[in-house]
Every structure is written in C-alpha cells, then in structure tokens.
Chains A and B, each alone.
Chain A
Amino acid sequence: DTGVSQDPRHKITKRGQNVTFRCDPISEHNRLYWYRQTLGQGPEFLTYFQNEAQLEKSRLLSDRFSAERPKGSFSTLEIQRTEQGDSAMYLCASSLASGRMNEQFFGPGTRLTVL
C-alpha cells in the first residue's frame, strides 16, 4: 500500500495560465475526493467520484475548474485561466464505499501559487 499520491507537489504559475494536477488513490479505493485548503483554513470539499462517476460538485467549483476520473483509477483536476485567488493547497483523498462511513486517506497535496 503506497498511499495516496499527488503530482506535482508544488506548482507556481502566472495568472491566466492553465494548470492540471493528478491524484493516484489507494488502488482498491473506489471513492476519490478533492478538497482545497487555503492558508489558515480547514480543507473545503470540491468534488468526489465513485469509480468514474462524478457524484457531487461544490459551489466552490467554478466553471474554470474541471475534474475527471476516466477509468475509475487516477483523477485529474484542471484549473483554467488561473487567478490569484486560486492559490491554495489542493488535497486529494480516497476511500472505500460501503454501508458505513470509511476513513478517507489523504495525499500530501499540491500547493498552487498563482503570481
């Protein structure tokens, strides 16, 4: 079990550029979540997938944000036309779906800085 991995760990970009982040969940986990954490705040839910289906999106996920999980394994989060307000830590988590609430395992995050 290698845990949840995220790539890149850090990304610096200029305002207006597009960025894409990748998340590889724990292999047998069928649920995958994206959260955003800004400085001094707790993580905020963005979206989640069960297998390849995107089941819920937060209102925080503007039209500039899109997430995919094409084969129910890894996921990508793309931000188009980045703004300075997008600067944050983007966290990915995975879990098993079952009748009881299962623990979400978090990756180390991707820290985005928009200049």
Chain B
Amino acid sequence: AQSVTQLDSQVPVFEEAPVELRCNYSSSVSVYLFWYVQYPNQGLQLLLKYLSGSTLVKGINGFEAEFNKSQTSFHLRKPSVHISDTAEYFCAVSERTGTASKLTFGTGTRLQVTL
C-alpha cells in the first residue's frame, strides 16, 4: 500500500515570487509520481509525471518537480507564480508493478497567489 503526505494545506504567495509545494510518499514498492492541478469546479489536470530517467521533470505552465528517492519526496516548484496559478494541487503515486494503476492522492495543497 502507498500513502502520500502533503504537509502544507495552504500556501499563500505573492505574484512573481517562487513557490515550492511539498510532497512525501511511502510505499513498499517502486512507484510512479504525479502532480495534478484542480481549478474550481473542474476536474484534475496533469501537471507533470515522473516515470523514470532524469529526476528533474518539467511540466506544463512552468512547473517542475524533483524526485528524491532517498527522501521519498517529489516537491513541486515554480520560479515565478502568476495569479492564474491559484488552484488546488495534488500529489499522487501509483505502483510500478502489476496491472494495478490506481492513483493514491495526497490531501492537496491550496496555492493562493495574490498581488
């Protein structure tokens, strides 16, 4: 079984400032890692994913994340945020092995960008 911890339920930040949203996971098997964004009254949209290879992955809208196996972390970063980045962000994992591909999500981090 896997679990995902997003320690920050809310992150307020000023526009054009950098931001980091933290994600730690626990799993007895190797996992794939994802970040999704959810805008109000909408479904989830994939920001980026780590499957293998380079531990630094780049996604849409200028976001990037770094997989750290020793710290079991997959923190999301953006060097300069925009008002339109205000949304809920979810970190998720999925087992690499077998046929199961269900996602296990964290509780989410609300990013609030202000002027």
Q: Which residues of B contact A (CB under 8 A)?
A: 4, 9, 32, 36, 41-46, 49, 51, 90, 92, 94, 96, 99-108
Which residues of chain B have C-beta atoms less than 8 A from A104's C-beta?
46, 101, 103
Convert A37-75 into 0s and 1s, putting 1 for each residue whose CB lies closer than 8 angstroms to a CB of B.
000111111001010000110000000000000000000
Q: Which of A4, A43, A100, A106 contacts B51 (CB 8 A)?
A: A100
Kindly state the separation between the CA atoms of A74 and B43 in the bound complex, as whole angstroms: 18
Contact A45 B108 (CB under 8 A): no
Contact B32 A101 (CB under 8 A): yes
Residues A40 and B103 in contact in the complex (CB < 8 Å), given A108-B43, A109-B43: no
Convert A88-113 into 0s and 1s, putting 1 for each residue whose CB lies closer than 8 angstroms to a CB of B.
00010101010011111111110000
Q: Is A33 an interface residue (CB 8 A)?
A: yes
Contact B99 A55 (CB under 8 A): yes
Kindly state the separation between the CA atoms of A35 and B38 in the bound complex, as whole angstroms: 14
List 6 A-B pairs, minimum CB-CB distance, nearest first: A42-B105, A106-B43, A45-B102, A106-B44, A101-B32, A108-B43
Q: Which of A43, A56, A101, A108 contacts B96 (CB 8 A)?
A: A101
Contact A41 B100 (CB under 8 A): no
Kindly state the separation between the CA atoms of A43 and B43 in the bound complex, as whole angstroms: 11
In the assembled complex, 30 residue pairs joining A and B whose CB atoms fall closer than 8 Å, in A order, are A4-B43, A31-B101, A33-B103, A35-B103, A40-B107, A40-B108, A41-B107, A41-B108, A42-B4, A42-B92, A42-B105, A42-B106, A43-B44, A43-B90, A44-B105, A45-B102, A45-B104, A50-B99, A55-B99, A56-B102, A93-B44, A95-B101, A97-B101, A103-B49, A105-B46, A106-B44, A106-B45, A107-B43, A108-B43, A109-B43
